[in-house]
Amino acid sequence: MARSTKEEALETRNRILDAAEEVFHLHGVSRTTLADVADAANVTRGAIYWHFKNKSDLFDAMCERIRLPMEAMVEANADGNEIDPLARLRETCIFVLMEAVNNPHSRKVFDILHHKCEFVDPLDPIMIRQTECYMEGHIRLEQILTNAIARGQLPVDLDVKLAAVTLRSQLHGLLNNWLFAPASFDLAPNAERLVDAALDTLRYAPSLRRLASSSA
């Protein structure tokens, strides 16, 4: 049998990833097997193992397909040479929310991460990888906020660690609530206002200032 071309291999890989999205979203991550994904993609299990080492590798690739553009934006925003870090952060937050609204792939993966992952084993490779991604993103967010302080866009006494926790919690909460009950509020026309409200919290909340005894 002739070896598949690169284009055919890429098409098969994307078909497997599309099938993984569908099956993980339908059944949840822990109850989905590679055989389930193979059936949904109309490929053999061997074809899956050609592209992915195991279910964890497949899950990670599925997430990376939608995560990469977001991570690239956040990484660029964390650059100390960025002259308007708060505006770039605002753009990134709005982009993520609108991806959930407008991009079916992003919406399904976000929903899987929020509602279809049964993280119960701390040694599960999927849980370990998601924790790593979370911590990497948190470090970059703290860098962005630090850059914004240096540019005079946020208060000099802002508690960066607490501010990063607050902002991430607000954005994750918005996504979680909307994905769970989209009819509860209209995200698309309100995304900018919701992000601005979150950023205003960093600017004006006295409770997010460093305590007198805290180190700089």
Nearest in space to 20 (alpha carbons), one of 62, 67, 63: 62
Question: At residue 106, does pLDDT exceed 80?
Answer: yes
Burial of 41 (0-12, 13-18, 19+ CB in 10 A): buried
Residue-wise pLDDT tens digits, 142-179: 999 999 999 999 999 999 999 999 999 999 999 999 99
Q: CA-to-CA distance for 116 and 99, rounded, in angstroms?
A: 19
Structural domains of the chain in order of their starting residue, each with its CATH number = 1-52 (1.10.10.60), 55-208 (1.10.357.10)
* Per-residue confidence (pLDDT) for residue 2, from 0 to 100: 46
Residue 34 · residue 55 · CB < 8 Å: yes
Residue-wise pLDDT tens digits, 24-35: 999 999 899 999
Q: CA-to-CA distance for 34 and 133, rounded, in angstroms?
A: 23
Q: CA-to-CA distance for 184 and 182, rounded, in angstroms?
A: 5
Residue 137 · residue 129 · CB < 8 Å: no
pTM higher than 0.75 = yes
* Per-residue confidence (pLDDT) for residue 7, from 0 to 100: 86
Residue-wise pLDDT tens digits, 41-56: 999 999 999 999 999 9
